[in-house]
Amino acid sequence: MILLKIELHSLTVALSALLLLVIVLIVAVIIYGYRNFQLINNARDWKRLIEDKLSYAIFNGIDAIWADQEFIARGKSKNFKKIFTSVLIESDQRFIGEAHKILKDIFYKFNLDEMAFKNLQSNNIYHNVRGIQVMTALDVQEALPHITALLQHKNPYVYSEAQYSVVRFNGFKGLTFLDTLKQPLSLWQQMRLVQAIQLVSVADYDAIAVWLKSENLSVIAFALSLIRKFRIHSLHEQVVSLLQHDAIEIRINSVKTLQTIEQTDTADILINSYERQEMLVKVQILKFIERSANKNYNNFLKHILENETDIHLQIQTVRLLKLFNEEAYLQQKIQQISVDQSLQKVLQNALAR
């Protein structure tokens, strides 16, 4: 009986302790949730306040901010500084001239540069990226050596942001990292970098020619994008040589690029290479002919139709022949007994429209 009472007492104590632990955990979760709720609310309110203050300062002068002691006091909060930094990053390239100078002055007055430099040297990937972004947005030249060092970072988010940053700071000269780049450039990154380049001089053409021979396919693709953007006709021969590249995506990209730097012999070069290409490259060559709107290629198109077995290419070719006013030829072709059924259907569909 005594033993039973002891066991019941022990069980009651254990249950009470467990219940107390559950209550403590519930209270902790509520406090944590309420704190996060407050932080989210504060972040939203602070963001709106900072945006209003910056807009007012841009149009009315910076002195109005220093007159608001409550705003100045908030600026000492670490969380407030984080929101402030985010707003400045979002303003990237929206303001130029005097407006940008005012934003930069505010950046230094609130000692946000100190936080940004700490972020660049942090072991936290997110902090690295934010540090790069705000230094780039505000054109803080002193940060460039720190950002350049991050080109060798292991994390793709960090080194990608560093790549974009050095190009924003240095223009075409910032692309020297491409000479030894092993990691692939994403399509989005290529687009960002191309957009960041505003000027390419004749002296830069040699570097682009070197990138066209890179073992990194994304570097070749990026070089072709630059050639298209700036219409660098003098690299026509180097682009033509890529029609023999092992990677099909490079050959497709090369045909697209030749369209923008077309010379008198470009079409003949593409036509001569047609038979050696895979279907997707052939499609791109046919698109080249379509854009040229040159009826001198009609005999070539007829040759394709006589010999091509791929239905996708047959459809493309028939469509172009009709576009180039060769309906009489197509009518004649459909009457031939030797025409296979799939091509007959393609011809019938094209002529019925």
* Residues 177-196 pLDDT 10s: 999 999 999 999 999 999 99
Q: Quick one: how far is CA 215 from the chain centroid? A: 21
Q: What is the pLDDT of residues 41-74, one digit of tens each?
A: 566 888 888 888 888 888 887 877 777 788 888 8
Look at residues 202, 204, 146, 153 and name the one whose alpha carbon lies nearest to residue 175: 204
For 193, 205, 284, 298, the CA distances from 303, given in Å and listed in that order, are: 42, 38, 17, 9
In terms of Cβ atoms closer than 10 Å to its own Cβ (0-12, 13-18, 19+), residue 63 is exposed
Q: What is the pLDDT of residues 6-33, one digit of tens each?
A: 665 666 766 666 767 777 676 666 655 5
Q: Which domains does the chain have, with CATH numbers?
A: 52-172 (no CATH), 200-292 (1.25.10.10), 294-353 (no CATH)
The amino acid sitting at 214 is S
Whole-prediction pTM: 0.82
> Given this model, what pLDDT does residue 344 score?
83
Q: Which two three-digit tokens encode residue 77? A: 């909060």
Residues written for the chain: 353
| Residue of higher predicted confidence among 325 and 221 | 221
Asked if 321 contacts 305 with a C-beta cutoff of 8 angstroms, the reply is yes
Please calculate the CA angle 239-244-245 and round it to the nearest 5 degrees: 80
